[in-house]
Amino acid sequence: MADKPSVLFVCVHNAGRSQMAAGWLRHLAGDAVEVRSAGSAPADTVNPAAVEAMAEVGIDITDQRPKLLEYATAESSDVIVTMGCGDACPVFPGKRYEDWKLDDPAGQGVEAVRPIRDEIRSRVEALLRELSPAR
């Protein structure tokens, strides 16, 4: 693992769960971790309810854009966290994988997105503790 571990969050549209997870990790880890996110079939824009839910906790993800999952991005990431993309997510030998079972916030209002946001935060915090036990 390089000096700075890289974490890739993947969901189908890269518009809700993976964007919120990336937002949390950037917020909680600062520049100690390289944060990436992508989707197997990216949406045009980030889910407005996800943007609103994150803004409520002081995290701005308005500048993020859904990105297509690139083979090279996945191959060069240390940890790959998938969120409901099933077989669309590539598997690379020797990578650490986690599959987070989370409700899909697509089409939901901010009330439905808040508990997903909070669940993602606790998972990101646990991941961060495992990545940097010395901190």
For this structure, is 85 an active site residue?
yes
For this structure, is 89 an active site residue?
yes
Structural contact between residues 53 and 85, judged by C-beta atoms closer than 8 angstroms: no
Is 52 buried (19+), middle (13-18) or exposed (0-12) by CB count in 10 A?
Answer: middle
Say which of 21, 80, 89, 116 is annotated catalytic: 89
Give just the sign of the alpha carbon dihedral 55, 58, 59, 60. positive
Beta strands across the sheet bearing 6-11: 34-39, 6-11, 79-82, 96-99
| Terminal C-alpha separation, the chain | 17
Structural contact between residues 61 and 51, judged by C-beta atoms closer than 8 angstroms: yes
Say which of 7, 11, 49, 116 is annotated catalytic: 11
> CA 107, 12, 9 angle in degrees (round to 5)?
110
Say which of 53, 85, 120, 127 is annotated catalytic: 85
Would you please indicate which residues are annotated as catalytic (active-site) residues?
A: 11, 85, 89
